[in-house]
Amino acid sequence: MTAEFPRLKLDRSLSMFEEAKRLAPGGVMGIRRPYNFVQGEYPIFIDRGYGGHIVDVDGNDYIDMLCAYGPIILGYDEAEINTAVKRQIDEKGFCFSLVQPVQNALEERLTKLIPCAEQAILVKTGSDATTLAVRIARGHTDRKLILRCGYHGWHDWCVEVRGGVPEEFTNLTLEFEYGSLAELEELLEKHRDQVAGIIITPVGHPNAHPVVEPPAGYLKGVRELATKHGAVLIFDEVRTGFRVSMGGAQERYGVTPDLGTFGKAMANGYAISAVVGKREFMSVVEKKVFVSSTFFPNSLEMVAAMKCIDILEREKVPASIWERGTVFLERLRKIVADSKVPCMVSGIPPMPYITFEQGPGEAAGTPGEKVYKARREYFYTQTIRRGLFVQPFHHWYIAHRHTAADLEKALGAIAESLELTARKFPVK
């Protein structure tokens, strides 16, 4: 019979967190705070990473399927990328008043890989990219409203926790549900000639909810509605870019937006992102729309991106991840079905996920209302104790350096944790 594993030794991590709370509000930022995991069970400070693993400051080793929330598409401590970056530092430098030639090389490469990309602008974070794309849409159309579907970062126009953001500003962004063309069309009709842009994650991945592959015809329908109403269509591919295919979800699903935002997997952890798009939309940045930053032209991240893309192409990484992820998802579905635990497997092969559901008699207003949350917390407690680093409220990723043994061990940890969960919280 499967037994519970003991709690991990996390003394140093927890001690460092107490120090961190003195030094910074909340100790660590936002989604990395302990309440987004299982408090007291997960590490807070990481010492190092290698391959598909991370090691915390207490020496605990984990198979990491959160992948730094997505940037790690290859693996940690990629020697080929790091060597290229170090060479740039030693031989040429990286921060100047003007740009270095690698900027042209990377932008040219993006225009060849991504269907919508006739031009590119390199920035640093996903939030930089989505915010710039929205500004371009407003500049191109001279309209104000943005329709959004998905998580698009922390800037004022889209932040989900709205403290400190004027209501007048947040009212300019309206949300619609992924998969519902009717709702999108209703918003466009209600606000006819006012919508500057539609921004959507082409694969649906709302926080803490199942990951949804685009239903047949859905993205095509969004494209047609955007065109009909004169709105700029933006695909937020910060998570899907270079992971579902080299040209992103737009390439895989055959629907081309006006603008696309890319980041995360673009440089395997180095801080770089991009807005790419058709020339007629991007051209407003020449004079009408302003963007500038001291650090946007820094070349280290561009060098890292060039080398990362080299490896992605040479080793056919997206295809490999998709193939191995397909097998992983199939086995994960069987494990969950066999467990009889009320939970759901969702996702696409590069981005699997388990979400917990209410069982019979556990609906809102009943004595069992909170049982599904207790199941979720207990399951993730057991997986972390078994050395599998996944997150309760965010989908997982498969990285290139996850070995067959890593994925096998991950499935074993999930199966054992579900067995224990079923025993501790039986469905009545």
Whether this model's pTM surpasses 0.85: yes
Rounded Cα distance, 227 and 367, in Å: 50
Non-local (6+) Cβ contacts of 207 within 8 A are 151, 160, 393, 394
In a domain, 6, yes or no: no
Q: What is the distance of C-alpha 260 from the center of its chain?
A: 15
Please report which helix (H) or strand (E) contains residue 354, including its range: strand 351-356
- The first and second tokens of residue 32, run together, are 């990395």
Per-residue pLDDT band at 8 (split at 50, 70, 90): very high
Non-local (6+) Cβ contacts of 324 within 8 A are 349, 398, 402, 407
Final residue before a domain boundary, out of 289, 314, 339: 314
> What's the pLDDT tens digit per position in 231-263?
999 999 999 999 999 999 999 999 999 999 999
In a domain, 1, yes or no: no
299 and 201 belong to one structural domain: yes
The stretch 72-85 carries a mean pLDDT of 98
Measuring CA to CA, which residue among 380, 389, 73, 406 is closest to residue 244?
A: 73
209 and 220 belong to one structural domain: yes
Largest Cα separation within the chain, whole Å, is: 68
418 and 278 belong to one structural domain: no
280 and 164 belong to one structural domain: yes
In a domain, 2, yes or no: no
User: φ, ψ for residue 276 (rounded to 5)?
Assistant: -125, 155
Mean pLDDT across the chain: 96
158 and 196 belong to one structural domain: yes
287 and 200 belong to one structural domain: yes
Of residues 345 and 366, more confidently modeled: 345
Q: Are 404 and 373 in contact (CB under 8 A)?
A: no
Per-residue pLDDT band at 208 (split at 50, 70, 90): confident
Please report which helix (H) or strand (E) contains residue 390, including its range: none
240 and 116 belong to one structural domain: yes
333 and 251 belong to one structural domain: no
Q: Are 177 and 147 in contact (CB under 8 A)?
A: no
CATH number at residue 373: 3.90.1150.10
71 and 85 belong to one structural domain: no
In a domain, 392, yes or no: yes
246 and 369 belong to one structural domain: no
Domain span holding position 284:
79-314
54 and 106 belong to one structural domain: no
Pick from 74-88, 137-151, 349-363: least confident: 349-363
Q: In sequence order, what E strands does 24-110 have?
A: 46-50, 53-56, 61-64
CATH number at residue 198: 3.40.640.10
Q: Percent of the chain beyond pLDDT 70?
A: 99
The stretch 107-130 carries a mean pLDDT of 98
Please report which helix (H) or strand (E) contains residue 276, including its range: strand 273-277
In a domain, 213, yes or no: yes
409: three-class secondary structure by DSSP: helix
Q: Quick one: pLDDT at residue 144? A: 97
Token pair 């020449």 in the structure block, residue: 286
Token pair 């295809």 in the structure block, residue: 319
When divided into structural domains, the chain yields a total of: 2
- The first and second tokens of residue 166, run together, are 């004027």
> What's the pLDDT tens digit per position in 350-398?
999 999 988 787 877 776 778 989 999 999 999 999 999 999 999 999 9
In a domain, 257, yes or no: yes
Q: Quick one: pLDDT at residue 360? A: 81
29: three-class secondary structure by DSSP: coil
Final residue before a domain boundary, out of 291, 314, 337: 314
Q: Report DSSP state, residue 98.
A: S
For helices 102-113 and 300-314, the axis angle rounded to 10 degrees is: 40
Q: Percent of the chain beyond pLDDT 90?
A: 94
Q: Are strands 259-262 and 232-237 parallel, antiparallel or unpaired?
A: parallel
Q: Quick one: pLDDT at residue 361? A: 75
Q: Are 378 and 424 in contact (CB under 8 A)?
A: yes
Final residue before a domain boundary, out of 314, 336, 351: 314
The stretch 215-229 carries a mean pLDDT of 98
Non-local (6+) Cβ contacts of 396 within 8 A are 65, 66, 67, 347, 351, 352, 353, 390
Q: What is the distance of C-alpha 142 from the center of its chain?
A: 30
The stretch 49-57 carries a mean pLDDT of 98
In a domain, 110, yes or no: yes
130 and 224 belong to one structural domain: yes
Helices then strands, each counted (H, E), the chain: 13, 13
Rounded Cα distance, 380 and 393, in Å: 10
In a domain, 3, yes or no: no
265: three-class secondary structure by DSSP: helix
